[in-house]
Amino acid sequence: MGRASAQRKRLSVIAGVLAAAVVGGLVYLLVPMGRSNEGAPEQQGKAQDNPFATMARRTPGDPMALGRQDAPVVMIDYSDYRCPFCAKFTRDLKPELVKRYVDTGVLRIEWRDFPIFGAESFDTARAGRAAAAQGKFWQYMDVVHRDAPQSGHPELPREKLVGYAGQAGIADIPRFESDMDNPATLGAVQADAAEGSRLGVPTTPAFLINGNPVLGAQPLDRFIDTIEKARTAAR
């Protein structure tokens, strides 16, 4: 077995473990938190009441984050590029949230890789980070999700991932491929995946808005309501 084949087999195993964790009931770590917050919105966003409220990294210059580092509300997005609902969020909801809240300094969005749909999910996460290294993370994600089907998991072989890099305006394609293949890039993806698994992320997309979970591509009003409550609590 060649090195590339062995790596892809290993990634498939890791993805299978993550998927098994999702199916296996780790959801209880998030769902009870969500239910308790429904009855006590005034508590949203307070770290002393919500252990997930401290998950924001607020890393200066993070190319995989949108919005001010000191924004009062941080939405962490655990996603898989091959998830059709993640693509729907990118296409239909993210632009409005950026316009309403990111551009006005209220919201910061931080991406987390949570690849659960096989080796190609890991490959695409690595490609996203390679795009981020050239300041084109969000453009790359937009290209991938714009081309995604309405349902099902798209096939994303390497040649398609490299083609998307050109569409996203990435100038140095050889560097993009080198960064994609860098073991450190895979390590960063795996670290995000491990974080999500420890938290019990039950599905993709899954969001923590100042620690308060929103699961799936919910209607825009659900995001607005949660962000507004978190904004009020953060004052």
Quick: pLDDT tens for 180-189: 999 999 999 9
- What's 81's domain CATH number? 3.40.30.10
- pTM score, whole prediction: 0.81
Nearest to 229 by CA among 211, 215, 207, 205: 211
Q: What's the distance, CA 218 to chain centroid?
A: 15
Q: What is the mean pLDDT of the chain?
A: 85
Long-range CB contacts (< 8 A, 24+ apart) of 92-98?
Answer: 92/217, 93/217, 93/220, 93/223, 96/220, 97/220, 97/223, 97/227, 98/66
3-class DSSP state of 104: coil
Record the tokens describing residue 205, joined without a space. Answer: 């997309």
Higher pLDDT, 6 or 20: 6
Give the pLDDT confidence score for residue 52 in this predicted structure: 80
Give the pLDDT confidence score for residue 15 in this predicted structure: 43
* Kind and range of the H or E run holding 126: helix 119-132
Nearest to 23 by CA among 176, 177, 198, 200: 200
Domains held by the chain: number: 1
Averaged pLDDT for residues 202-225: 95
Domain that residue 201 falls in: 3-234
Give the pLDDT confidence score for residue 48 in this predicted structure: 52
Give the pLDDT confidence score for residue 50 in this predicted structure: 73
Strand order across the 107-113 sheet:
65-66, 107-113, 73-79, 206-209, 212-215
Flag whether pLDDT at 27 surpasses 50.
no
